[in-house]
Amino acid sequence: MATVGSKSRYEESLQGNRIEGFRQRLSGTIVRPGNPEYDAARSIWNGMIDRRPAIIAYCANVNDVTQSIAFARETGILTSVRSGGHNIAGSSLCDGGLVIDLSRMNKVTVDPENRIARAEGGALLADLDAASQAHGLATTTGVNSDTGLIALTLGGGIGRLGRKHGLSCDNMLSAEIITADGQVLTASEQENAELFWGLRGGGGNFGIVTAITYQLHPLGPTVLAGSLIYDWKRVRDALRLHAEFSAAAPDELCTDAALVTLPDGGHGFAISAFYAGAMDEGERVLRPLRDALPTVEDRIGPISYVQLQRAGDASFPRGYRFYWKAQFLREITPAVAKALIDRFPSVPSSKSFFVFQQVGGAIAKVPPTATAYVNRRAAYDSFPVSIWTEPAADQANIFWAREMYAALRPFAMDGVYVNNLGDEGDDRVKAAYGENYTRLAALKRKYDPDNLFRLNQNIRPAV
C-alpha cells in the first residue's frame, strides 16, 4: 500500500514512453485526453459523474487485461475497472488514472444440453438474456438490461428470478479471474474454493473477472408479468395489499412495487408482478391480487421474457442525473407505509420513485455465511431513486432521497446491498458484509495485499 498509487511513481509513469509501450502490448485500443472520442469514452450512465482519466484501455481479450494490470502494478497509476459503467457511485471512472474497460469482451456462449452459459467480463444483462432465451433458458439477473452482468453477479445479483433460483451469484458455477499479481485463476467449488466463496458477493475486490459460467434454468420464452397501477387515494390500501400478498407469495412469484408519479402529474402506487412458472398457475396465483382493489390500470399479461427484462430500461435514461440510498427491510409494516406516504409527495422530480425490490425465497434458503453475500434474511431491498436532468436541481433531489432514506432508517435492517451503495464510506461497506467481513479482509490480503483494486466498495486487506 505504501507505493501503489503514489504520486511520484504515477507522474513518472506518464512522462516517458511507457504509455506508448503499453499501447503496443494491447490488441485493443487506448483513448487519452485530446483524442476525439475522449468525452464519449469517459461518459458513464450516471450523468452526475464527471471524471477525467489519463488512459482508458479498451481490452479486447484476456491478455489485454493481464497487460493492463501489469501496467497498473508497474507504474502505481490509480486504476478503476469498467464493464457496464452503471455503478451509482461511478466507481468505474477515476480522475487522472487508468480505466481498464471490458465492454468489448461481451461474448456469451450457451451449452443448452447442460444448461450452462459462459459470459465474458464485459457482458451486459441483455447479452446473457438473449443468448440463454434462444434456448428457452434463463438465470437470475437484474431489472435494467444494459447493466454489467459480471459486476452485478460479483455483488450478489438481485432480480425477478431470485426468489425461485437464488441470486445471480448463487448460480455462478465458476469464474475466471486475473489477480493483482497477474495470475489467471479459475475459482469454483473444486478449485480455489475460498476465492470462489469471496467472489459470490465480495464485488471487484479480488481481481478482474474475465468470465463467469452460470447455471441456467428452463423459462419462457413467454412469461406472465406486468403492473397494477393504483391512484394516490388508494395508496394506503394498495401498500397494505402489496405487503400482505408479497409476504405470503410462493417462490415462483416476485412482486416489486413503487411509489411513482403518474403521467397526469398525480402520485400513485405500482405493483410489478412476475410469475416464474406455468401461465395458468400464475393466473390463478395472481387473481386475488388483481381482484382486491380497483386499479387505474391492470397491465398483467403474457410477455416475452427478453422484452420484460428490457421493460424497465426507459426509466433509467443514460446520462441523466441519479442518486439513491438503499436499505433492507424485513417487512412493510403500517409504520413504514405511513412514513412513505407522508414524505413521498414532496418528490421534486416526476421521474423519481421509491422502490421495493422483493428478495427472500430461494435467496433466503442459503445460509448467510455460505457465500460472501450475507443479507439473506431480508424480504425487500428498498430505496428512493432520484432522477433529474438539471445540475441546478442536484441539491433538492439528493435531499429528497436522503430524507426518504432517513424516514425508513428506524425500520430497516443493519445490512445494505453492496451493489446499491453510493459513496457512503467504510462503515456501510462493513455493514454490507456483516459477519463475513473479516473472512473477506483475509482473502483480500491474500489476493490483493496492496489494494490495487480499491476503486470499488472497498474491503481493506487484513493487517
Ligand X SMILES: Cc1cc2nc3c(=O)[nH]c(=O)nc-3n(C[C@H](O)[C@H](O)[C@H](O)COP(=O)(O)OP(=O)(O)OC[C@H]3O[C@@H](n4cnc5c(N)ncnc54)[C@H](O)[C@@H]3O)c2cc1C
Shortest spacing between CB 212 and ligand X, in angstroms: 9
Footprint of ligand X on residues 59-88 (CB under 6 A)?
A: 80-88
- Using CB under 6 A as the binding rule, whether residue 126 contacts ligand X is answered as no
- Using CB under 6 A as the binding rule, whether residue 158 contacts ligand X is answered as yes
Answer for which of 57, 110, 117, 143 binds ligand X (CB under 6 A) is 143
d(CA 191, CA 180) in angstroms, rounded, equals: 18
Residue count, binding to ligand X (CB under 6 A): 36
Residue whose C-alpha is closest to residue 329's, from 254, 268, 247: 247
Shortest spacing between CB 276 and ligand X, in angstroms: 15
Footprint of ligand X on residues 254-313 (CB under 6 A)?
A: none
State the binding string over 14-53 for ligand X (x if CB under 6 A, else -): -------------------------------x--------
Answer for which of 10, 316, 433, 447 binds ligand X (CB under 6 A) is 316
Could you give the angle at which helices 279-292 and 235-247 cross, rounded to 10 degrees? Answer: 150
Nearer to ligand X, 147 or 261 (CB): 147
Q: Which range binds ligand X by CB under 6 A, 143-151, 295-303, 334-342, 346-354?
A: 143-151
Burial class (CB in 10 A: 0-12, 13-18, 19+), 287: exposed
- Using CB under 6 A as the binding rule, whether residue 121 contacts ligand X is answered as yes
Shortest spacing between CB 457 and ligand X, in angstroms: 8
Shortest spacing between CB 208 and ligand X, in angstroms: 4
- Using CB under 6 A as the binding rule, whether residue 147 contacts ligand X is answered as yes
Nearer to ligand X, 157 or 232 (CB): 157
- Using CB under 6 A as the binding rule, whether residue 361 contacts ligand X is answered as no
Using Cβ positions, the residue closest to ligand X within the complex turns out to be: 148
Shortest spacing between CB 213 and ligand X, in angstroms: 14
- Using CB under 6 A as the binding rule, whether residue 150 contacts ligand X is answered as yes
Can you tell me which residue has the cell 417462490? Answer: 251
d(CA 405, CA 375) in angstroms, rounded, equals: 18
- Using CB under 6 A as the binding rule, whether residue 152 contacts ligand X is answered as yes
Answer for which of 53, 76, 97, 142 binds ligand X (CB under 6 A) is 142
Residue 199 · residue 372 · CB < 8 Å: yes
Answer for which of 99, 456, 459, 461 binds ligand X (CB under 6 A) is 456
Number of Cβ within 10 Å of residue 160's Cβ equals: 27
Footprint of ligand X on residues 413-432 (CB under 6 A)?
A: 419-420
CA angle 380, 381, 385 (to 5 degrees): 130
d(CA 259, CA 459) in angstroms, rounded, equals: 34
- Using CB under 6 A as the binding rule, whether residue 202 contacts ligand X is answered as no
Shortest spacing between CB 84 and ligand X, in angstroms: 2
- Using CB under 6 A as the binding rule, whether residue 92 contacts ligand X is answered as yes
Nearer to ligand X, 116 or 178 (CB): 178
Shortest spacing between CB 150 and ligand X, in angstroms: 4
Q: Which three cell numbers stand for residue 363?
A: 435467496
Shortest spacing between CB 353 and ligand X, in angstroms: 12
- Using CB under 6 A as the binding rule, whether residue 98 contacts ligand X is answered as no
Burial class (CB in 10 A: 0-12, 13-18, 19+), 8: exposed
Dihedral pair phi/psi, residue 352, rounded to 5°: -80, 160
Dihedral pair phi/psi, residue 226, rounded to 5°: 145, -175
- Using CB under 6 A as the binding rule, whether residue 209 contacts ligand X is answered as yes
Shortest spacing between CB 88 and ligand X, in angstroms: 6
Residue whose C-alpha is closest to residue 446's, from 223, 267, 194, 222: 194
Shortest spacing between CB 414 and ligand X, in angstroms: 19
Q: Which three cell numbers stand for residue 35?
A: 483524442
Residue 227 · residue 100 · CB < 8 Å: no
Shortest spacing between CB 98 and ligand X, in angstroms: 13
Radius of gyration (Cα) for the chain, nearest Å? 22
* Site for ligand X, rule CB under 6 A: 45, 80-88, 91-92, 102, 121, 142-144, 147-148, 150-152, 154-159, 204, 208-209, 316, 419-420, 455-456
